[in-house]
Amino acid sequence: MKVFFRELTLSTKELFDLVDITREVEEAVSESGVSNGMCLVYAPHATAAIVVNEHESGLMKDILRKVQDLFPRGAGWLHDRIDDNAHAHLGSALISSSRIFPVRGRRLVRGTWQNIFLLEMDGPRASRRVVIEVLGE
Ligand code: ZN
């Protein structure tokens, strides 16, 4: 079994932001040498998440709006007593910091309208990491 590991470093520009990493993930799969297996995309952060959906500017704003509706900033969260970012921890915990994709024929299996994004909820940040691990044969 092959195990291929890559770490991306990227920056985010807003408090809530979506950064499309589809191309980088697909490049990692293609360079991994794995024909059939799976690809983990993981954000090693407690205040960010990985989401999958269409890269359309209106929808991206809709997603960010919904995330802020679901996890409003400064809504009396207890964690805000020490760190002022409880909303982002809640979003990361409930949306999830990872996604897994099938790999078939040396390609990531995804729908036409399924791009992969880092969801920032405590930005802007100069440095956010995304771990990509491709496993298979
Ligand atoms: Zn915190």
Predicted TM-score (pTM) of this structure: 0.97
The two structure tokens encoding residue 57: 């500017």
Domain range for 78 is: 2-136
Predicted confidence band of residue 26 (pLDDT cuts 50, 70, 90): very high
Look at the chain and report how many structural domains it folds into: 1
High-pLDDT (> 70) share of the chain, %: 100
Residue 89 CA, ligand 1 centroid: distance in Å: 6
Residue 81 CA, ligand 1 centroid: distance in Å: 10
The two structure tokens encoding residue 87: 């909303």
Q: Which CATH number do you get for residue 91?
A: 2.60.120.460
pLDDT tens across 57-77, in order? 999 999 999 999 999 999 999
Predicted confidence band of residue 44 (pLDDT cuts 50, 70, 90): very high
Q: Which of 79, 81, 80, 7 is nearest to 41 (CA)?
A: 7
pLDDT at position 37, please? 98
Residue 28: alpha-carbon gap to chain centroid: 15
pLDDT at position 49, please? 98
Mean pLDDT of 92-113: 98
Residue 79 CA, ligand 1 centroid: distance in Å: 7
pLDDT at position 95, please? 98
